Amino acid sequence: MVEREDLLKHLSGMSDFERAVLMATFEIPRGKVSTYKRIAEMVGKPRAYRAVGNVLHKNPLAPVIPCHRVVRSDGRIVGETREEVEARRRLLEEEGVPVVGNRVKISGEIIY
């Protein structure tokens, strides 16, 4: 298991915001999802959900930092390519997250 302190060492060259986003994402448990907006709120920048997406797009430690567990507020799984979306969908399904098409069925039980 990867320790929080080890991750922080790997992320030392990043901004405080980038580190906060990646560490918040690291905390999402297997079988749960969060949204870009919820991550923005967690790091104290509630309107920075697009910036959260940009940070996760450059995630240097995927899948250790499980950015596949972050979806749009409507549940949609996003990625740059169809293959990327498909890979994220497969990972979520393997973790037991309910997915229909390319959308996670958001519920109180799986949202983090």
pLDDT in tens, 37-83: 999 999 999 999 999 999 999 999 999 999 999 999 999 999 999 99
pLDDT of residue 1: 73
> Which CATH number goes with the domain that contains 78?
1.10.10.10
Give me the active site residues, please.
Answer: 67
84 pLDDT exceeds 90? Answer: yes
Q: Which residues of 33-43 are buried (b: 16+ CB within 10 A; e: fewer)?
A: bbbbbbbbbbb
d(CA 104, CA 28): 15
Rounded to two decimals, the pTM is 0.94
In a domain, 33, yes or no: yes
In a domain, 24, yes or no: yes
Q: Identify the sign of the CA torsion 86, 87, 93, 94.
A: positive
Overall domain count for the chain: 1
pLDDT of residue 4: 85
In a domain, 110, yes or no: no
pLDDT of residue 45: 98
Q: Are strands 99-100 and 70-71 parallel, antiparallel or unpaired?
A: unpaired
